């Protein structure tokens, strides 16, 4: 799971809610158990409408930095909402796009607009920026410009390359510790879950409905563990493996991304008439790696080196609607037509702005705090070279992305065991070929949440599959949110949906119209959702 970098901006009526204490989850830090009542807060909602979301409202909520000290230092959460319009009110539906580090403010407008009107009308759809993110305060930005090009090549074939990347990771960790020493101990999933319950209380709701993507599935599962009596309905899409938080999850991810990259290259080979890179996927793959080697020596436009190339093509593992753009950039470079399209693709898909700096800072802070990471670099070196031998696409890129955790200035907690027999039926959605959250994680989550139901997109490879144009998946989600109806097969998988068709290459006319529009102009259904989910979340 990698951090997202999307933002925007918020509902009336308030009351207090008391948090019933529940026992500490097995294997968790003592702070994981809720202990205190929420302080009464009044939410003041103001219009923050956009062209795409004309009914959006925004508010802010004060919560304790340390929930064990409710009257201590306070931080601010940014909230958004689209109010219900139906006479029958189903309560708040909290939505989260993942990360950790993803801004959720725009998600409220998107979900309210994309769900069937009759379904959305029954809910107050609530978005939020988790602590440290976006418009919440303080918003973390540990080392502005950390991802500025051109970075050292990621595959550490030389001692100098390895040292340069280690030095960058250590510098990031030290910058976070220096700037946010008082905050970092409280940027973690359990603290964010307690924020969710503070939001529930401020909304005056006894229970919440919840809909999360990617890391948001883990956030929801931890909420359900700590507050099972506060959950009414919960839908989880593209599921984190709760057994592998977080070091092992990233190693598993590397294999899945490599397979997804091969699927992209096979698609390029299938459309040789358009891209002229050959009909043999293995030879197309060789050309891609030749491009990476060449860019390591001479970056395109003084911006796109080997590391930036990986950053540019990695989003194709999240959403195949990006494939036509990426294929055109690849073909232009490999066929000797110039570097312009590749630089443009990097600026659209790989470049990191200030919002991305913030997302990455929170991603690192949560991930490094949530669970133990190896502190001995020898283990990182050994594990990642072993994985790289079989999955060379982004193993080392992923390793350096997470490497600050080897030097993190705050001790790690233990992950929450999300095993749960008390929560109402949870509806889980998963694509079989998802790279960011591989399929096995959904099976694990399904087994841990007793009574949950699993809906699978067979052959699908996108990360985030509901509200993306698949009517079968969306039908299950709509039925669940309408009346709690869930599929039931009696087997491991409760329902299977066919995947959406692969994208088609852009025509010359479409290409001219969409030049400069990626990723917002991405091909295929689901482009808006994947713009919100981001690429590393």
Residues with Cβ within 8 Å of residue 279, at least 6 apart in sequence: 269, 270, 272
Please give the structure tokens belonging to residue 303: 């911006």
- Per-residue tokens: 518: 């990626």
List the one residue out of 245, 261, 237, 229 whose CA is nearest residue 330.
261
Q: What token pair was written down for 338?
A: 């110039």
Please say whether the beta carbons of 103 and 133 come within 8 A: yes
The DSSP annotation for 50-116 comes to -SS-TT-EEEEEEEESSTTSTTS-EEEEEEEEE---SSS--EEEEEE--TTT---HHHHHHHHHHS-
DSSP 263: H
Q: Taking a C-beta distance cutoff of 8 angstroms, is the pair 228, 212 a contact?
A: no
Name the nearest CA neighbour of 32 among 297, 344, 417.
Answer: 417
Whether the Cβ atoms of residue 197 and residue 135 lie closer than 8 Å to each other: no
Residues 6+ apart with CB under 8 A from 522: 319, 321, 322, 325, 530, 531
The residues facing 82 across adjacent strands are: 125
5: tokens are 């970098």
Catalytic choice (129, 434, 474, 494): 434
- Give catalytic status of residue 353 as yes or no: no
What residues contact residue 369 under an 8 Å CB cut-off, 6+ apart? 184, 185, 187, 188, 408, 410, 412, 413
Q: Which element (helix H / strand E) includes 125?
A: strand 123-129
β-strand pairing of 123-129 with 74-82: antiparallel
CB 10 within 8 A of CB 79: yes
The single residue of 271, 463, 476, 530 carrying the catalytic annotation is: 463
Quick one: which H or E segment has residue 455? Answer: strand 453-458
Give the strand pairing for 74-82 and 453-458.
unpaired
Active site residue 417: no
Cα distance between residue 483 and residue 481, in whole Å: 6
The angle subtended at Cα 344 by Cα 341 and Cα 348, nearest 5°, is 135
Candidate list 7, 80, 106, 214, residue with the active-site label:
214
Answer whether 332's CB lies under 8 Å from 148's CB. no
Catalytic positions are 214, 434, 463
């Amino acid at each position: 799971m990698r951090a997202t970098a999307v933002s925007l901006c918020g509902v009336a009526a308030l009351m207090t809610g008391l948090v019933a204490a529940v026992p500490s989850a097995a294997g968790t830090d003592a702070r994981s158990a809720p202990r205190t009542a929420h302080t009464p807060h009044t939410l003041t909602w103001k219009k923050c409408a956009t062209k795409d979301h004309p009914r959006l409202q925004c508010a802010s909520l004060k919560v304790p930095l340390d929930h064990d000290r409710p009257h201590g230092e306070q931080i601010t959460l940014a909230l958004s909402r689209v109010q219900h319009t139906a006479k029958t009110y189903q309560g708040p539906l909290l939505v989260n796009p993942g990360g950790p580090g993803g801004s959720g403010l725009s998600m409220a407008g998107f979900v309210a607009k994309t769900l069937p009107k009759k379904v959305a009308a029954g809910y107050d759809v609530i978005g939020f920026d988790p602590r440290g993110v976006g418009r919440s305060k303080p918003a973390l930005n540990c080392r502005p410009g950390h991802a500025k090009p051109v970075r050292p090549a990621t595959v550490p074939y030389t001692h100098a390359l390895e040292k340069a990347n280690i030095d960058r990771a250590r510098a990031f960790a030290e910058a976070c510790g220096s700037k946010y020493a008082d905050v970092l101990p409280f940027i973690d999933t359990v603290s964010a879950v307690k924020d969710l319950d503070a939001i529930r209380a401020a909304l005056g709701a006894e229970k919440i409905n919840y809909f999360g993507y990617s890391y948001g599935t883990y956030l929801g599962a931890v909420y359900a563990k700590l507050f099972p009596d506060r959950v009414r309905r919960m839908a989880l899409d593209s599921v984190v493996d709760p057994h592998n938080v977080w070091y092992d999850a990233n190693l598993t991810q590397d294999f899945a991304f490599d397979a997804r990259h091969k699927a992209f290259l096979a698609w390029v080979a299938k459309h040789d008439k358009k891209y002229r890179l050959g009909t043999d996927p293995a030879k197309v793959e060789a050309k891609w790696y030749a491009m990476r080697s060449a860019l390591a020596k001479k970056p395109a436009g003084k911006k796109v080196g080997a590391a930036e190339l990986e950053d540019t093509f990695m989003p194709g593992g999240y959403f195949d609607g990006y494939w036509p753009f990426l294929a055109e950039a690849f073909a232009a470079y490999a066929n000797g037509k110039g570097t312009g399209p590749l630089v443009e693709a990097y600026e659209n898909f790989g470049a990191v702005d200030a919002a991305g700096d913030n997302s990455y800072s929170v991603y690192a802070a949560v991930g490094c705090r949530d669970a133990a990471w190896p502190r001995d670099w020898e283990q990182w070196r050994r594990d990642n070279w072993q994985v790289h031998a079989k999955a060379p696409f982004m193993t080392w890129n992923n390793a350096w992305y997470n490497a600050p955790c080897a030097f993190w200035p705050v001790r790690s907690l233990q992950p929450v065991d999300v095993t749960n027999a008390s929560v109402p039926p949870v509806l889980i959605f998963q694509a079989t070929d998802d790279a960011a959250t591989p399929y096995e994680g959904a099976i694990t989550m399904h087994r841990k949440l007793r009574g949950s139901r699993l809906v699978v997109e067979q052959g699908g490879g996108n990360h985030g599959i509901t509200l993306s144009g698949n009517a079968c998946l969306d039908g299950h989600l709509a039925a669940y949110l309408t009346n709690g109806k869930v599929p039931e097969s009696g087997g491991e998988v409760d329902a299977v949906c066919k995947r959406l068709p692969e994208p088609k290459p852009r025509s010359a006319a479409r290409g001219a119209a969409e030049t400069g529009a990626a990723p917002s102009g991405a091909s295929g259904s689901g482009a808006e959702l994947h713009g919100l989910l981001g690429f590393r979340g």
